[in-house]
Amino acid sequence: MSFSAQSATGVPRLQRPNWAQIREPAWPRRRALRGFSTTALCLLLLCAAAARAAAQPAARFADAPAGTASAAASVSAPPMPSAPAPPAAAPSSAPSAAQPRAVESWSRRLALTHFTRAAELERRGDIAQALSEYTESLAVDSTLGEAYLRLGSLRERMGDTREAELVYSEAVRLSDTRARALLQRARLYRSVGRAELALRDLEAAVSDEPSREALQELAQHYVEAHAFGAALFTFRRIVALARDNGDSAVLETARLEVRALSVLAAETDPTSERPKRHDWVGRALFAMARR
């Protein structure tokens, strides 16, 4: 190394070609601006998150209503004991007046439409079309018991007793038409000479629904079978039913039947005449029958 290229201290002199490199800063300007913008953006995001956290209410407690001056005091004050709640009223068993009634299904409405048309055709005398409409109504809704009764009656009028019996048997299975179906089937059995089956159906019909019509049919069957005691008991039920309903004509006719049957059933009916003084069995039967 030549002496002219070095200073007195031994440090190399500055040369013009190296001046730009010495003057260049250690952190370039573009990198500095980029680092500053990133730092400022992070600080802004942190400040915004802190502001949202401070403004957001706690999740466990509801916000105090606006405009109340005692909101802070109510939080710090101890809770006051509340009055005991009145006992809840017992639920009423009666349905509410506003409760909507059950709406008929579309199948029941369609079946009733066919049934009404069939009844009109039957009234006009068009039996074939009436049978078709009754059958169609039952195909839509098999629980329409009235259609079974009308269809069975038409079959019976046409002389098809076997088919009528099957139709009545289907109506017997339904609770709303069971008693009437038993009565109509009993009449069918009586018309073909099947007295035992007719008596069974009549007794079942009276047991389910003791109507005047069914009681009269049963009493007439007992009279024809010479069961005068059973006929007398049945006519007495008719008397009681007519008295309750206020039907004077039926009441008078039934009383005449009771008087006549009392003579025929004097030996078998303990209530036809008062037993003797020492006949304790007869007196006991008389007392029970009069209750």
| DSSP states of 187-241 | HHHHHTT-HHHHHHHHHHHHHH---HHHHHHHHHHHHHTT-HHHHHHHHHHHHHH
Residue 17: the pLDDT is: 54
Q: What is the pLDDT of residues 165-186, one digit of tens each?
A: 999 999 999 988 999 999 999 9
pLDDT band per the 50, 70, 90 thresholds, residue 42: confident
Residue 67: the pLDDT is: 46
Residue 36: the pLDDT is: 58
Which has the higher per-residue pLDDT, 97 or 83? 83
Residue 87: the pLDDT is: 47
- The residue-averaged pLDDT of 36-59 equals 64
Residue 269: the pLDDT is: 57
With vertex at residue 153, the alpha carbon angle to CA 127 and CA 149, rounded to the nearest 5 degrees, is 115
Which has the higher per-residue pLDDT, 69 or 33? 33
> Residue 121's closest CA among 136, 108, 140?
136
Distance CA 221, CA 239 (A): 17
Q: What is the pLDDT of residues 95-108, one digit of tens each?
A: 443 343 445 688 88
Most confident option among 74-88, 249-263, 277-291: 249-263
Place of tokens 């009269």: 216
pLDDT at 187 over 50: yes
| Summary count for the chain: helices (H), strands (E) | 13, 0
Instruction: Read off the DSSP letter of residue 66.
Output: T
Residue 117: the pLDDT is: 94
Its pTM stands at: 0.56
- The residue-averaged pLDDT of 208-236 equals 89
Q: What is the pLDDT of residues 252-275, one digit of tens each?
A: 888 888 888 887 776 665 555 555
Residue 79: the pLDDT is: 47
Contact criterion met (CB below 8 Å) for 257 and 218: no
Which of 77-81, 115-119, 139-143, 244-248 is predicted with the least confidence, judged by mean pLDDT? 77-81
Residue 257: the pLDDT is: 87
Could you tell me what percent of the chain has a pLDDT over 90? 33
How would you class 17 by CB atoms within 10 Å of its CB: exposed for 0-12, middle for 13-18, buried for 19 or more? Answer: exposed
Residue 183: the pLDDT is: 94
Neighbours of 228 (CB within 10 A): 20
- The residue-averaged pLDDT of 114-119 equals 93
